[in-house]
Amino acid sequence: MPQPVDMPAGVRAAVDLIAENCEPALTTVLFVGGAGGSLRAGATRSPVRLTQAIRDSRVNVTCGGAPVYVWPGGGITVMVDVATMPDRCFGTVPTPAVVAPIEFTMKLADYRALGGYMESIQPLDDVLNRHRERIVRIESTNPWPVSHKALQE
């Protein structure tokens, strides 16, 4: 039967050195997904112009308010650290597919130029007055995609 014994001094020194050089670690998940044609066509009448505007940095893309990395190449493929997104923000559909929140933020003039659905634009206050707000925790280190000044343009 194994019996407990005191740790030898040489082993204790090695264990102490290892412990001194350990740091807390965090594991996260990177989500990679694409904004397909139907999503892009739902945002603007010209999905290709939307993609080009993202590449030209005229449109900011976020997922649940979290900054994303837009992959090079055609279409809109993004990668996001899920730890920076609100809790329970993913969904599923029977396709099967995972549904992630994705936002395109731009100036009103750019939206118009991209073939945006101008007839559907509503003032934020009107929307908030008609619908109950859902408060979610947003990672405080995330940069907000627009300033209050940009919202007024």
Task: Please write down the HEC assignment for all residues of 71-107.
Answer: CCCCCEEEEEEHHHCCCCCCEEECCCEEECCCEEECC
Which one, of 65, 60, 93, lies nearest residue 81 by Cα? 65
What ranges do the domains of the chain cover? 30-137+144-148
pLDDT in tens, 25-54: 888 899 999 888 788 888 999 899 999 999
> Cα(38)–Cα(95) distance, rounded to whole angstroms?
14
Q: How confident is the model at residue 152 (pLDDT cuts 50, 70, 90)?
A: very low
CB 125 within 8 A of CB 60: no
Tokens 């395109």 -> residue:
104
Of residues 61 and 144, more confidently modeled = 61
Q: What is the Rg, in whole angstroms, of the alpha carbon atoms belonging to the chain?
A: 23
> Cα(143)–Cα(123) distance, rounded to whole angstroms?
23
59-96: burial string, b at 16+ Cβ within 10 Å, e else: bbbbbbbbbbebeeeeebebebbbebbbeeebeeeeee
pLDDT in tens, 70-125: 998 878 999 999 988 988 899 999 988 888 999 999 999 999 999 999 999 998 88
> Cα(33)–Cα(35) distance, rounded to whole angstroms?
7
* Per-residue pLDDT at 124: 83
